[in-house]
Amino acid sequence: MPIRTNRGRAAVYRRLWGFPLRSPRHLAGTAVAVLILIIAIGIAVPQLLGSPAGSKVTPARVPDPASSAAKVPAGTTSTPMSSRLTAPLLQPTSAAPNPEALNVAKLWAQAWVTHPAGMTNAQWLDGLRPYTTDEYLPQMSTVDPANIPATRLTGDPRVTESYTSSVLVLVPTDGPQLSITVAQTAAGWRVTGYDQAS
């Protein structure tokens, strides 16, 4: 029996690995065969590791509240656990608009429309900073003041929604109306967001 050398093994490996690259038909056939093999393994492995197809899964037994109550030691109380909510989720409480919140909204809007030519974003943000939450300022840093389509306020703020801890205010400008959300924070009333309303 002839002994196979390393050179002979290399030739066999070269033939195996070179087969898919011989032609597009060989490559497509190899890809289909590999895909079928992967699907077969994906189907077979869970069946081998899981419960056999004919086995019966017994659902967990739910204890009867009457029988479990009988097993509670004397002197203790037992209440069944419920997964249903017994009280509604907390809703914001409506309240009269806070005058300080309205003032903050107006001052913030005035700083928003104030952007003389050549003003940098940092300078513009300094005007907004006293009236804006620290969390919202980084979002405002993406605004280019030169692109703001308003230069002055044209009326007083008008409340559209008012709660004990937040107020939604519309402020008219010579461009779009500003819809400003002002919230009660540890530092006082501060703007937490705005949008340009029509």
What is the model's pLDDT at position 75? 53
Residue 20 confidence class, pLDDT cut points 50, 70, 90: confident
**Residue 141 is encoded by which pair of tokens?**
């840093």
> For residues 141 and 60, which has the higher predicted lDDT (pLDDT)?
141
148 located within any domain: yes
CATH number for 118: 3.10.450.540
Q: Are 182 and 191 in contact (CB under 8 A)?
A: yes
What does the pLDDT look like over 100-138, one tens digit per residue?
Answer: 999 999 999 999 999 999 899 999 999 999 999 999 999
Q: Are residues 45 and 103 in the same domain?
A: no
Q: Distance (Å, rounded) from C-alpha 171 to C-alpha 147?
A: 19
83 located within any domain: no
Q: What angle do CA 93, 100, 155 make, to 5 degrees?
A: 105
Q: Are residues 37 and 111 in the same domain?
A: no
pLDDT of residue 61 exceeding 60:
no
Q: Are residues 104 and 43 in the same domain?
A: no
Q: Are residues 117 and 179 in the same domain?
A: yes
Phi, psi of 191 (to 5 degrees): -75, 130
Q: Are residues 103 and 43 in the same domain?
A: no
65 located within any domain: no
In the three-class reduction of DSSP (H, G, I as helix; E, B as strand; rest coil), residue 27 is classed as helix
172 located within any domain: yes
Range of the domain at 25: 7-49
193 located within any domain: yes
Residue 181 confidence class, pLDDT cut points 50, 70, 90: very high
Q: Are residues 181 and 106 in the same domain?
A: yes
pLDDT of residue 10 exceeding 90:
no
149 located within any domain: yes
Q: Are residues 43 and 128 in the same domain?
A: no
Residue 70 confidence class, pLDDT cut points 50, 70, 90: very low
Total domains in the fold of the chain: 2
What does the pLDDT look like over 153-170, one tens digit per residue?
Answer: 999 999 999 998 999 999
41 located within any domain: yes
Q: Would you tell me how many other CB atoms lie within 10 Å of the CB of residue 124?
A: 22
Q: Are 162 and 97 in contact (CB under 8 A)?
A: yes
Spatial CB neighbours of 101, under 8 Å, sequence gap ≥ 6? 167, 169, 182, 184, 189
134 located within any domain: yes
Q: Distance (Å, rounded) from C-alpha 110 to C-alpha 148?
A: 12
Q: Distance (Å, rounded) from C-alpha 126 to C-alpha 5?
A: 80
Q: What is the mean pLDDT of residues 14-37?
A: 80
Q: Are residues 114 and 41 in the same domain?
A: no
**Considering the chain, what is the average pLDDT of its residues?**
80
Q: Are residues 118 and 185 in the same domain?
A: yes
